[in-house]
Amino acid sequence: MISIIVAIAQNQAIGKNNDLLWHLSADLKHFKELTSGNTVIMGKRTFFSLPVHPLPKRRNIVITDIPDEKIEGCEMAYSIDGAIKLCNPEETNYIIGGGSIYKQFLPFADKLEITWVYKDFDADTFFPIIDENEWKVAAQSEKMHDEKTGLDFAFFTYTRR
Q: Which residues bind ligand NAP (CB under 6 A)?
A: 6-7, 14-16, 18-20, 42-46, 49, 63-66, 78-80, 96-101, 104, 125
Of the two residues 115 and 135, which places its CB atom closer to ligand NAP in the complex? 115
Cα gap 85→13, rounded to integer Å: 29
Q: Which is nearer to ligand NAP, 114 or 135 (CB)?
A: 114
Minimum gap (Å) between residue 111 Cβ and ligand NAP: 15
Q: Which is nearer to ligand NAP, 63 or 135 (CB)?
A: 63
Q: List C-alpha distances in Å: 148 to 5, 76, 78, 118, 142.
A: 23, 37, 39, 15, 18
| Secondary structure of residue 66 in the 3-state scheme | coil
State which amino acid sits at residue 127. Answer: F
Of 78 and 108, the one with the shorter C-beta distance to ligand NAP is 78
Question: What is the rounded distance in angstroms from the CA atom of residue 104 to the CA atom of residue 41?
Answer: 12
Q: What is the rounded CA–CA span in Å between residue 54 and residue 112?
A: 22
Taking the complex as a whole, the smallest distance from the CB of residue 9 to ligand NAP amounts, in Å, to 8
Nearest distance from C-beta of residue 92 to ligand NAP, angstroms = 16
**Nearest approach, Cβ of residue 108 and ligand NAP (Å):** 12
